[in-house]
Amino acid sequence: DGGITQSPKYLFRKEGQNVTLSCEQNLNHDAMYWYRQDPGQGLRLIYYSQIVNDFQKGDIAEGYSVSREKKESFPLTVTSAQKNPTAFYLCASSMRGSHSSTDTQYFGPGTRLTVL
């Protein structure tokens, strides 16, 4: 059963702690993405990766880090430097990761992070 998975679904963190969100896909997609969504808002791009061992900053990368050691995995670390980390985090993947808007993105179920 192909798809994109994220874990955990809910995550609680104390201030000052780093936390890593998991994202895995078995769609054989080259590109993977991380978005952040705040209540009532659209999605904002944090990081994206078009190929293994390469990734680029999105619009709100500060306070986040990623790695892309395997094609199917793109974990996101929310560091203590992120001033307001409480949000809904969405991971996506697409086949080519090209500039073309025909490259449809497929999203995971999301992880809701709450900082206590």
Partner 1 sequence: LAKTTQPISMDSYEGQEVNITCSHNNIATNDYITWYQQFPSQGPRFIIQGYKTKVTNEVASLFIPADRKSSTLSLPRVSLSDTAVYYCLVGAGERDGGSQGNLIFGKGTKLSVKP
Write the single-letter amino acid at 72.
E
Task: Check residue 55 for interaction with partner 1 (CB under 8 A).
Answer: no
Instruction: State in angstroms the smallest separation of the CB of 72 from partner 1.
Output: 17
Q: Which is nearer to partner 1, 15 or 102 (CB)?
A: 102
- Tokens 């998975």 belong to 5
Task: Check residue 90 for interaction with partner 1 (CB under 8 A).
Answer: yes
Task: Check residue 52 for interaction with partner 1 (CB under 8 A).
Answer: no
Contact with partner 1 (CB under 8 A): which of 21, 24, 29, 33? 33
Q: Measured between alpha carbons, how far is residue 72 from residues 23, 39, 56, 85 in Å? A: 8, 29, 17, 25
Pairing of β 106-107 and β 87-94: antiparallel
DSSP 73: B
Residues that bind partner 1 (CB under 8 A): 31, 33, 35, 40-45, 48, 50, 56-59, 88, 90-92, 94, 97-110, 112
